[in-house]
């Protein structure tokens, strides 16, 4: 295992633990704004993956770019669907007393 691969794996695992710790302590009131922020980040990754897929470096990078575009698109669409569902919980029900 090369030192670069070991360091990259170390950073990935550390980021996973830190992300889990940060997201786990978010109060429910902040879930909707946090989801909107992560949708924005996913949109940025979608633009980056489109650039890589269209750069035509070689076939392997084009295939990986296409997979990245597909995954980022699923992430963005799913994020917006979940955010919409969360926002519907705050709407008043028709015919209610409130």
pLDDT block averages, 10 residues each, the chain of length 98 = 89 91 80 77 88 88 90 88 81 69
Instruction: Supply the pTM of this predicted model.
Output: 0.61
Distances (CA, A) of 3 to 13, 14, 57: 15, 16, 26
CB 30 within 8 A of CB 42: no
Q: Do 76 and 67 form a contact (C-beta atoms < 8 A)? A: no
């Amino acid at each position: 295992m090369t030192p670069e691969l070991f360091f990259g794996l170390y950073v990935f695992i550390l980021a996973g633990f830190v992300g889990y710790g940060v997201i786990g302590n978010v109060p429910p009131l902040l879930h909707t704004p946090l989801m909107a922020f992560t949708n924005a980040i996913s949109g940025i990754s979608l633009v980056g993956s489109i650039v890589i897929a269209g750069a035509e470096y070689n076939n392997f990078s084009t295939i990986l770019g296409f997979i990245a575009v597909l995954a980022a698109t699923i992430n963005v669409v799913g994020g917006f669907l979940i955010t919409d569902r969360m926002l519907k919980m705050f709407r008043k029900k028709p015919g209610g007393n409130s």
